[in-house]
Amino acid sequence: MRHGEVANPDGVLYGRLPGYHLSELGRRMAERVAEHLSSRDIVHVAASPLERAQETATPIAKAHGLDLGSDARLIEAENVFQGRTFGVGDGALRRPENWKHLVNPFKPSWGEPYVDQVVRMTGALDAAKDAARGHEAVLVSHQLPIWTVRSYVERRRLWHDPRKRQCTLASLTTFTYRGDKIVSVGYSEPARDLVPAHLLAGAKPVKGGSKAFGA
């Protein structure tokens, strides 16, 4: 699961910075997904250590009477632009000091390599599979790591256009295992009606409001 909406009045790319919590709308998203999953056979819930992920996972764990785990492998991708604005129309791409970080979108040069994200995310998935073998587990993470590991499992290239990620706020990307092998990937948006239209997958970016490298 991707976390819900975050309170971010300054519009910064918050990345791994502490202190960014769910907004009121984000808490509603989390409750909606917890209700959606209430009848599922969930025996394990874990989340990225960042506040927004922990807060998103809490109502799911509570609904199933489970302790909430923390898995650092689920954390947001590292990004050199965290703490700064970096959106469409804000001039970031015209600043010479940023150019050195934008030379290789295939790695990417501005942050954690895609391959490293795949390694840690597949490790988190496998651990959850083992913890919930024969049942279901929920992991709460962040848009870019989720999309990257999904792309790897579905045998797509890892570099991509961030605007085309199918990983809306509070969405569920489901990996189904048979034994130790992933046999299918699913996607759903239980809180879609709560997501602002400009944040849905494929929506046109809002000037100054789009985070170019995920959240």
What integer pLDDT is reported at residue 107 of this predicted model? 81
| Radius of gyration over every alpha carbon of the chain, rounded to an integer in angstroms | 17
What integer pLDDT is reported at residue 96 of this predicted model? 64
Residues of the chain with pLDDT under 50: 99, 208-214
Residue 50 phi/psi, 5° resolution?
Answer: -70, 145
Distance between CA atoms of residues 20 and 17, nearest Å: 7
What integer pLDDT is reported at residue 127 of this predicted model? 98
Distance between CA atoms of residues 68 and 46, nearest Å: 6
Q: Provide the 10 A C-beta neighbour count for residue 110.
A: 20
What integer pLDDT is reported at residue 215 of this predicted model? 60
The secondary element (H helix, E strand) that includes residue 182 is strand 181-188
What integer pLDDT is reported at residue 87 of this predicted model? 57
Within a 13 Å sphere around the CA of 114, how many CA atoms are in the beta-carbon half? 21
Distance between CA atoms of residues 33 and 157, nearest Å: 30
Within a 13 Å sphere around the CA of 171, how many CA atoms are in the beta-carbon half? 20
Question: 84: which 2 tokens?
Answer: 């700064």
Question: 18: which 2 tokens?
Answer: 């502490």
What integer pLDDT is reported at residue 208 of this predicted model? 45
What integer pLDDT is reported at residue 188 of this predicted model? 98
Q: Is 40 helix (H, G, I), strand (E, B) or coil?
A: coil
